[in-house]
Amino acid sequence: MSKHIHKVHLKSRTIHPAAYYFEGIKSGNRTILSEAITLVESTNIEHEKVAEDIIELCLPLSGNSIRIGVTGIPGVGKSTFIEAFGLSLVEEQQKKVAVLAIDPSSEKSKGSILGDKTRMTQLSSHQNAFIRPSPSAGKLGGVAEATRETILLCEAAGYDVILIETVGVGQSEITVKSMVDFFLLLMIAGAGDELQGIKRGIMEMADAILINKADGDNVKKAELAQQEYKNALHLFPPNKNGWIPQVATCSALNKENIDVLHEIIDQFVRLTNSNNSFKENRKKQAKFWFDETISNAIKNLFYNDPKIKGELISLERTVIEGEISPFKAAKKLINLFKN
């Protein structure tokens, strides 16, 4: 792993008081930011306590970034695109950019996104960029919660653009959509089956579709695909916020037409600020995360309860064998938990 990809292990380190991390984060110290994120990702009770305090301290300084989700099937060019787009942000627009990832499979595959040191080498060595691999908490709920909190820490550290990368293979898109302001879908032109490669539901969530690899022999095909996606998006119900999803082509590899995304996002922010839907969306997301955190915590309490653990497997078996109804069995467990 590149030394610029910020992941640190705390095992043998001393844990400092929350104020130490807060001061470090505020002053833009990336090592301390990384350590704080590791605490946020940890399931150790002591770490959790400090992490909570750090988040509490950072909260008043958070919220001032644009949060952008980036998805697409493996190989579409996400990391190449993020590198190109990120560099244009840090170099041409003097922005500070944080790149986070959500990959619920990263524990099994030992970091299938952002784990590879060859990815985003230029961006990761830029002083105004911060790149963080996916937490490997296993369950998507835990990974998502940690990422959500990490966004707040990065904002407190002064990052103006937060890019959240996820693999285009299912549930994780919905999770990312629920924590970003703007959702970008990267695609490539296929051979006549433009709409087959990606689930319709994911297309419906997109605020922009960029058809990548529009270079060399591929330019014509990409332009054709652009037209097809434009037509397809017309068939979807209009967005409540009044935004019409945009479709464009680009070449991440040649850094061509990357700027189109700056324009699209500027337009998006202007529109959603003028009709207040930007803020409304964040409020809705905050409520969603409040509910989500409670239900995750309750689930954990339930399944980690020794009484429940003792009964669950045998009760499950009797349900499968048809000896007791699933509802009755569930009630039995819940009553056991309550008493």
Binding site for ligand GDP (CB under 6 A): 72, 74-80, 212-213, 215, 251-253
The residues pairing with 166 across neighbouring beta strands, listed in sequence order, are: 102
Nearer to ligand GDP, 21 or 85 (CB): 85
Please identify the residue of the shown chain whose CB is closest to the bound ligand GDP. 77
Give the DSSP H or E segment for 70. strand 66-71
From the CB of 300, what's the least distance to ligand GDP, in Å? Answer: 32
Measured from the CB atom, the residue of 212 and 277 that comes closer to ligand GDP is 212
Contact call for residues 203 and 173 (beta carbons, < 8 A): no
As measured in angstroms, the least distance from the Cβ of 3 to ligand GDP is 21
Question: Which bin fits 255, alpha (ψ -120 to 50), beta or left (φ > 0)?
Answer: left
Asked if residues 146 and 135 have their Cβ atoms less than 8 Å apart, the reply is yes
The string of DSSP letters for 285-301 reads HHHHHHHHHHHHHHHHH
- Shortest Å, Cβ 253 to ligand GDP: 3
Angle at 77 between CA 265 and CA 271, to 5 degrees: 10
Which two structure tokens, joined as six digits, stand for 25?
Answer: 């984060």
- Please give the Cα distance from 235 to 204 (Å, whole number): 10
| Calpha distance 184→189 (Å, rounded) | 16
Shortest distance, position 293 Cβ to ligand GDP, whole Å: 30
The DSSP letter of residue 5 is B
- Smallest gap, in angstroms, from Cβ of residue 82 to ligand GDP? 8
Nearer to ligand GDP, 79 or 128 (CB): 79
**Whose Cβ is closer to ligand GDP: residue 150's or residue 251's?**
251
Comparing CB distances to ligand GDP, the nearer of 78 and 126 is: 78
